[in-house]
Amino acid sequence: MKLLIVYGTSEGQTQKIARFVANHLAERGHQTSVVNATEPTQGTGPRNYGAVIIAASVHAGRYQSSIIHYVREHLAEIDARPNAFLSVSLAAAGDDEEDIEGLKKCIADFTHETGWRPHRIHHVPGAFRYTAYDFLKRWAMKYIAYRKGGPTDTSRDYELTDWDDLTRFVDSFVKDSASA
């Protein structure tokens, strides 16, 4: 199967996730193209692909504007084939009811704003990139981590992504897409 993976990222974890998915699928004999929504080039629309995966991360309650723009621009083509949305966030790493409700609101706002109703949605835990944050963001993220019982040593980064869970989701999506 030929799959298009489009991502939006702020600190790089969603790009890492998109490339992981592409490499995993390529190892299983699928053709993949990975596109950064902030740098789309000609021919990066979904038209020539059998399935589409869109990946974006939540920051301050919103997904990247480049993803919103890409989905709006290619909505009919995305809807015409099997598709999935990978929602990357720190909230996905926990089971706090307030965080879960917040993620539901982010998805609802995103689908309202874009008009896209993904066939499948998967929440993927992101990462604390303390070493990449400026002083104020590092302080704010440390405070959030402290409140949620997360890692607070700002001298290093913490990857929370569950790669096995992501692999299971992607394999299931591709299997279902092939039989659609």
**Residue 41 has what pLDDT?**
67
- Say yes or no: 13 and 89 in one domain: yes
- Say yes or no: 79 and 147 in one domain: no
- Say yes or no: 149 and 116 in one domain: no
What values do phi and psi take at 135, rounded to 5? -55, -50
- Say yes or no: 45 and 72 in one domain: yes
42 by DSSP, 3-state: which? Answer: coil
Residue 54: enclosing H or E segment and its boundaries? Answer: strand 51-57
The total number of structural domains that make up the chain: 2
What values do phi and psi take at 71, rounded to 5? -65, -45
Q: What is the CATH number of the domain that holds 165?
A: 3.40.50.360
- Say yes or no: 156 and 140 in one domain: yes
Is pTM, for the whole model, over 0.85?
yes
- Say yes or no: 10 and 49 in one domain: yes
d(CA 51, CA 172): 13
- Say yes or no: 13 and 55 in one domain: yes
Digits of tens for pLDDT over the chain (180 positions)?
A: 999 999 998 888 999 999 999 999 999 999 999 999 988 665 678 999 999 999 999 988 899 999 999 999 999 999 999 999 999 998 888 888 888 899 999 999 999 999 999 999 999 999 988 999 999 999 998 998 888 888 999 999 999 999 999 999 999 999 999 876
- Say yes or no: 18 and 84 in one domain: yes
- Say yes or no: 149 and 85 in one domain: no
**Residue 92 has what pLDDT?**
86
- Say yes or no: 54 and 67 in one domain: yes
- Say yes or no: 57 and 146 in one domain: no
The boundaries of the domain holding residue 71 are 2-126+161-179
- Say yes or no: 139 and 171 in one domain: no
d(CA 1, CA 83): 13
